[in-house]
Amino acid sequence: MKQKRSSKLKHASRMLLINLTLAGIIVGLYFSLIYPYSTETAAVSGFPIYKGSNRRAVALEFTVSWEAKALPQILDLLSEWNIRATFAVSGEWAENNGELLRRMQAEGHEIATMGYSPEEDGRAGFIEKDLKKSIDVIFAETGAEPELYYCGDRNANISSIAARRLKLTPVKCTTDLLCANGSGSDILSRVSGNTNGGDILLVAPTQSFLEALPDILAYFTDKGLTITTVSGTIYN
């Protein structure tokens, strides 16, 4: 009798442990579905953020390195619409374009970094040094350090390790509008019907994007979505 009772107790204990484990998994899945883009999770894991949790807004994330001839006119247009965006600049570009960088900051835009030489990749130590160099340049020009790092085509996992060491939040994008390819109409077609609240749109200050920008701004305004910075999209 004692053996049977002991066996029943062991069985009951195993079943309780299994049920508790399953309950934990279900609760975890529940919260991951409710908060699929939680910035807390991103901060803990260090993985890049691809989409924001603010479903009432979309972000414009500019990459600014070499092809930036239309940048002054784009800044003029954003100012007219009273819109703030994120400009992920390379350290090398920032070093040679301090006046424009300071204008971005003065007009309330968010300055992020792409690293000093974003076309170069390597191990975490190399990326960390490259990022630190870009941070120093941006600080020297603006008096502020960036908080976001757009890692571009670099290895996302290695870039995330380097970013974490420097207390940078690594970000990517939801949709790349491929602003170096096609006309303004082509770029607009990549927006219409393909974007939603929380999206981070990767753009570049090309002439074609400048042509598309008024219609893009009008499109999101008509949809009732606020156009804002990456931080304004990933943090509610």
* pLDDT of the residue at 236: 62
Question: Residue 84 to residues 59, 135, 203: CA-CA distances in angstroms?
Answer: 9, 21, 14
pTM of the model: 0.80
Cα distance between the two ends of the chain: 61
Say how far residue 86 (Cα) sits from the centre of its chain.
Answer: 9
Instruction: Give pLDDT tens digits for 190-224.
Output: 999 889 999 999 999 999 999 999 999 999 999 99
Average model confidence (pLDDT) for the chain? 86
Q: What are the contacts of 188-196 at 24+ separation with CB within 8 A?
A: 188/212, 188/215, 188/216, 188/219, 191/216, 191/219, 192/219, 195/58, 195/220, 196/55, 196/58
Closest CA to 64 of 190, 178, 199, 203: 203
CA distance 28 to 148: 28
* pLDDT of the residue at 40: 36
CA distance 83 to 111: 14
Question: Residue 151 to residues 118, 198, 220: CA-CA distances in angstroms?
Answer: 8, 19, 26
* 143 pLDDT more than 50: yes
* 234 pLDDT more than 50: yes
Average pLDDT over residues 116-140: 97
Band the pLDDT of 149: cuts 50, 70, 90: very high
* pLDDT of the residue at 235: 81
Instruction: Give pLDDT tens digits for 170-195.
Output: 999 999 999 999 999 999 999 998 89
